[in-house]
Structure 1
């Protein structure tokens, strides 16, 4: 009697909740650990694999590669090759990936009250404060790029205009900033939690505003 043939490959990991539900379908795409944090990083613009790995402390190379592959297949990110002399590949958000901005913004707002004192094990990057700060900047009417200086570093954020398909924020100083502000991380989080307003913090001197254009004037309340 012929011996039963064994499967040639291991059964693929179950990747769907198999529920006819929009929430379940969304979690099929972004419910895995690290996926939404990769989106957070790519909201800052195209990133190389090594840059993503450096700004996602704790993720293994295997998991990061797996998540990026899944996100490509799911239409969340695309990968392209930079022309010489860079000769490197970068990952960037596709339109469906950019559509997660309101989700990340809502999660940042929901999670802000849970941030107390920084724990000894907590990693930190300056641009991680960008999403919480967006809440305080939402009322600005003048469009431009705002450079933000914290003790932890610098980042820049686009304000007063449409978000769709655009770089929402970026790590480091801006190439061309329309205004600059300096504040501490605790105040940045307080603004994100709605504990004070931008106008109040500028008025009492906790935020220093630098710049001469319309955006800087609006920040100063002029």
Structure 2
């Protein structure tokens, strides 16, 4: 770590000494959804090489941001997960997403997209004061790709993939529609009216989802 240090006695510089290298924060992004196997991380980090991923995981483990453990039988798979120190990066990731939503233009032909990458943006939109004593599972879909968010007792938990029995499902026509609404939740009624966003579920769950993520504005 010392060889890559900026050498500045500054909190921002020290943070960047630890997580400022290429791909490092994207590894953290992948682990915000919970523990993942190496192969899952590789699949979520489109464009990274196996050597680079191994190097970044090693650095994060040495820094105490990521830990590795073996799941109980019958799975017995090795997974990586954020440590308590690593989880303290969540607010920073949320603010980076909030800032970055303003920078996203049109999706280029070479731009990859996976719907679980919206996790930090969901945290930026989430309104925890509306989540107290609420139990709700919301699924977000773009094409065949899906992720879901579980809200329980004021906390938001996200996971890639489909939910077993979602209370509400938001299906976006494309990544651009999802980005547009993430940038400006007030755009959601127009997206519904034009068929770019379909919302399904129990009326109370749909209304709760709108309130939780500011889609009523």
Q: For this structure pair, what is the TM-score category when the shorter chain's length is used for normalisation? A: 0.7 to 0.9
User: 1:213: how far off?
Assistant: 7.1
Aligned to 2:197: 207
Larger Rg, first or second structure (1 or 2):
1
TM-score by length of 1: 0.80
User: The residue matched to 1:115 in structure 2 has which SS?
Assistant: coil
**1:199·1:220 contact (CA, 8 Å) conserved in 2?**
no
User: 1:206: how far off?
Assistant: 4.9
Q: What is the Cα-based RMSD across aligned positions, in Å?
A: 2.8
- Superposition pairs for residues 23-62 of structure 1, below 5 Å? 23-62=12-51
1:114-172 CA-to-partner distances (Å, cap 9, x unmatched) read 22222222122121133334444437434422111212611112347235xxxx32211
- Superposition pairs for residues 79-94 of structure 1, below 5 Å? 79-94=68-83
User: 1:178: how far off?
Assistant: 2.9
**In 1, distance between residues paired with 2:187 and 2:169?**
17
Q: Unaligned stretches of 5+ in structure 2?
A: none
**In 2, distance between residues paired with 1:106 and 1:203?**
30
**In 2, distance between residues paired with 1:205 and 1:218?**
21
Count the aligned residue pairs: 207
User: 1:81: how far off?
Assistant: 0.6
TM-score by length of 2: 0.81
User: The residue matched to 1:181 in structure 2 has which SS?
Assistant: strand
Structure with higher helix content: 2
Q: 1:26 and 1:56, CA in 2 relative to 1: closer, same or farther beyond 3 A?
A: same
Q: Unaligned stretches of 5+ in structure 1?
A: 1-11
**In 2, distance between residues paired with 1:13 and 1:50?**
30
User: 1:23: how far off?
Assistant: 0.6
